[in-house]
Chains A and B, each alone.
Chain A
Amino acid sequence: MGESREGEFRPRSNGRIAVPHTGLELPLDLDLTRRDILKIAGYGSLAAFIAACGGSAPSSSSSSITATGGKLSLGSYQSDSVPKKALQDIVDAFASSNGGTKVSVNTVDHGTFQNQITSYLQGTPEDVFTWFSGHRMRFFASKGLATPIDDVWNAVKSNYTEGFANSVKGDDGHVYAIPASYYPWAVFYRKDVFAQHNYSIPTNWDDFKALCSKMKSDGLIPIAFADKDGWPAMGTFDILNLRMNGYDFHTGLCTGQQKWNDSKVTAVFKKWSEITPYYSPAFAGLTWQQAADQLLRKQAGMYLLGLFVSQEFLASGSQADLAQLDFFPFPHLGTSYDSEEALDAPIDVYMVTRKSPTLNSDLGQAKAFMEYLAKGSTQTAFYVESPGAIPTANDADQSKYDPLTKKAAQIVSNAKRITQFFDRDSRPDFAGPNGMQQFLLKYLANPSSDTTGLQGQMQSFWDSLGPE
């Protein structure tokens, strides 16, 4: 319709062009028709769109990658009341320090968040979300569901050790996450129980077994164990496999490069059966909280779990009990891999989504938030309110740590190899209730039997899973 009136918009005598329908006047002395202006606008926006799709192009000011003010949305799995409040306080502090950014936090129950993560990230997620390091992080990065944040990492990487730096890289070498906190897995015990019975900390396997049998004769449950939920048993499998077969074999096993019917895995199961007689009775029906209660009530002697076991001691309301909690690293097994001092130390991270509908406008604020989270002061503030996981930044104020946390930070920094825990290191369809959880329960129902059949089942299950 406009073609027939092409000559309509001639430049006015004052040399300005009136852009139709907007009331703007361009100070241009060009012989532009309406079609020309629309063409320019069209190509210009296309160019801007392509540039925006490039990803790492700064979206706000040209000098910095972050932006103040505006808004930001955060998807969080911190559904327990204590960490939830701690996160909200962090968010409020960030908002006031970033020019009043309006941050909306969407908290989802921890387990539900994990289960729905795939549909969440593909739908309309928030700008930033809480997640875990490891295979699970790399999986979503390689599927294009997370935004790389190399520019943010360049600004903060001096604040992290190499171990953490390795934990946030995707398969393509780009950085996709900021580590926020972590916690080690170790063998926990009560100092007063050990003092009362005159136990000493075992450093090798034989001492460990001797201690177990001594505890049994003293009427204690030597090793508290609970596996109704399936994942706690993976902690024991991980540490035994790491100590006996080394970090490389373990990570290869998690990702399918090593086979489950390897004789090395058989050796792990055999070794494990040496301590299963010392486990809590009816452990397949207990939750980790109930096993922690056994430790708390002095019914059990030791418990291999993550640092979060202190939450159950906290819930008892008794500071005296909490003060008695202590741990030692899993004993050496006398192999060459003992020197790796490898252990599970899962790292919780924050990531930036890709499909958030508001990400284009909020990208600067998202990156500002990620930088804020990388600061030691932020992480310490979270820790003070919600202890149970250790800050990752180098400049976190360690004087605020309680003795248990200090010791935990020490044990992780001594480790030359860190893994993330089996269900974060391996593919979720193998590690879930369908797969590894069920296999370990089957094994634990009859630990001293021949595991060849079970291992064959595990390998054929792995083989049946499609490409990732």
Chain B
Amino acid sequence: MTSVSPARKDAPEAGELVTTAKGRYHVLTRYDRRVLMVMVGIPLLADVVLIWWPTVTSIYYSLTNWDGVGDITAQNFIGLKNYQFLLSGGYFQFWPAVAHNFIWLAWLTFIATPIGIFFAVLLDRDISGTRIYQSVFYLPVVLSLVVVGFIWELQFSPTDGFINNAFGLVKSGNIIDWLGNPRINLFAVLVAASWRHVGYMMVIYLAGLKSVDPTLREAAKVDGANEVQIFFRVVFPVMAPINTVIVVLTVIESLRAFDLAFIINQGKNGLELLSILITNNSISESTRVGFGSAIAVILLVISLGPIITFLSQAMRPSRS
């Protein structure tokens, strides 16, 4: 200890002792601290500039009726009129879009994600060909959503699609308008979205299942539990962190839903979604930037619920 001059700023005794969660000790010198500040500061700066600053300006734009051309003048400022108009139902596509986003969430939560988890559980065994099965289910995930949209248009097109023709509906004249009937086209798009979502959830869950301690399972088997009980009583609770990830991803996918509905018909006639309303108002030919920003702020507020939930869970001190 005395061999090191105390004047050196980054000497061990010039630093502080930090305990980590596992109870280990770690010396954090001033040099370390400076390095850490830089290392964390750069992504933080990027985050503030690229995400938070545009968010704040969006909130500002939402209080105007700016049309994207020229400067914002004092007469553009209209206060909360945009929000009044949206929430009162004056913009007739708003509440249907909110409803559709929630239908999307419900479908993914109760149908697509459970199927993905189910496939993951099935494929977690040592069966031959498990890699092939996994690859087939994961294949749609690597496709861009635009491609997925085109692929499923080939299936769902009322007169030229596979489904209506293969089941003889075109010949008999009982065409089901999968894409044009506003009562069912959202579900057609959800089938296409699930095609992709199932593989995505399956792969994440498989990775989680691999990390489950096999001794837990053996112990449960010894105690006489069958497969279903093993899964729900033993495996599922242990996978809590993965479950959180799954839930977060499902919620993100449903709030983010855009590409498929946009590709099919630009998000109208039953396929309205909040993200598409924002796009059609702000960055299409009709540049009602102020109005579109108001919709975006509402989407942000809706998203804050799951975000805050997830963060509070993530920042809870982990149990040892």
Contact = CB atoms under 8 A, between A and B. Distances in A.
Interface of A: 114-119, 122, 136, 143, 145, 227-230, 280-286, 290, 293-294, 427-430, 432-434, 437-438, 441-442, 445, 457, 460-461, 464-466, 468
B266 interface: yes
Interface string B166-202: 0000000101111111100100000000000000000
Contacts of A464: 85, 90-91
Given A433-B265, A466-B291, 8 more contacts: A143-B70, A429-B286, A432-B284, A432-B285, A434-B268, A441-B269, A466-B65, A468-B67
Given A282-B158, A438-B268, A119 B68 contact: yes
A43 to B, nearest CB: 29
A280 B158 CA distance: 11
A445 B178 CA distance: 14
B180 to A, nearest CB: 3
Contact of B158 (A285, A437, A442): A285
A414 B157 CA distance: 39
A116 B283 contact: yes
Contacts of A461: 92
A432 B288 CA distance: 12
A230 B268 contact: yes
A115 B158 CA distance: 27
B267 interface: yes
The 4 closest A-B pairs by CB, nearest first: A284-B180, A429-B286, A285-B180, A285-B179
A285 B157 contact: yes
B86 to A, nearest CB: 10
Contacts of A143: 69-70
B163 to A, nearest CB: 12
Contacts of B180: 227-228, 282-286
Given A290-B157, A464-B90, A427 B286 contact: yes
A245 B67 CA distance: 32
B90 A286 contact: no
Given A228-B265, A290-B157, A438-B269, A118 B69 contact: yes
Nearest to B281: A434
Contacts of B158: 281-282, 285-286
Interface string B248-279: 00000000000000001111110000000100
Given A228-B180, A433-B266, A122 B69 contact: yes
Contacts of A117: 285
A281 B283 CA distance: 33
A115 B65 contact: no
Contact of B92 (A284, A427, A457): A457
Contacts of B284: 115, 428, 432-433
Contacts of A136: 285
B285 A114 contact: yes
A202 B160 CA distance: 31
B93 A115 contact: no
A interface secondary structure, majority: helix
A433 B85 CA distance: 19
Contacts of B285: 114-115, 117-118, 136, 428-429, 432
A397 B176 CA distance: 49
A229 to B, nearest CB: 7
Contact of B177 (A119, A282, A429, A442): A282
Contact of A229 (B91, B177, B265): B265
B interface secondary structure, majority: loop
A290 B180 CA distance: 14
A274 B266 CA distance: 29
Interface in B90-124: 90-93
B149 to A, nearest CB: 13
Interface centre among B157, B266, B283, B285 (most CB of A within 10 A): B285
Contacts of A230: 265-266, 268-269
A232 to B, nearest CB: 12
A457 B177 CA distance: 26
A464 B92 CA distance: 11
A281 B290 CA distance: 39
A281 B171 CA distance: 12
A115 B268 contact: no
A348 to B, nearest CB: 16
A445 B286 CA distance: 25
Contacts of B286: 427-430, 432, 434
B55 interface: no
B54 to A, nearest CB: 15
B280 interface: yes
B155 interface: no
Contact of B283 (A115, A122, A285): A115
Given A286-B158, A438-B269, A281 B281 contact: no
Given A114-B285, A464-B90, A285 B181 contact: yes
Interface in B283-307: 283-288, 290-291
A118 B68 contact: yes
B159 interface: yes
Nearest to B279: A115
B222 to A, nearest CB: 57
A229 B266 contact: yes
A464 B177 CA distance: 32
Interface in B29-83: 65, 67-70
20 contacts: A118-B285, A122-B69, A230-B266, A230-B268, A281-B173, A283-B180, A284-B181, A285-B179, A285-B185, A293-B160, A294-B159, A428-B286, A430-B286, A432-B280, A433-B266, A438-B269, A441-B269, A466-B67, A466-B290, A466-B291
Contacts of A468: 67
A433 B159 contact: no
A284 B281 CA distance: 23
Contact of B280 (A119, A430, A434): A434
A271 B268 CA distance: 25
Interface centre among A115, A143, A145, A227 (most CB of B within 10 A): A115
Nearest to A121: B69
Contact of B178 (A285, A428, A430): A285
A443 B125 CA distance: 55
Contacts of B280: 432-434
A136 B158 CA distance: 34
Contact of A434 (B93, B176, B287): B93
B175 A284 contact: no
Contact of A281 (B65, B92, B175): B175
B62 to A, nearest CB: 13
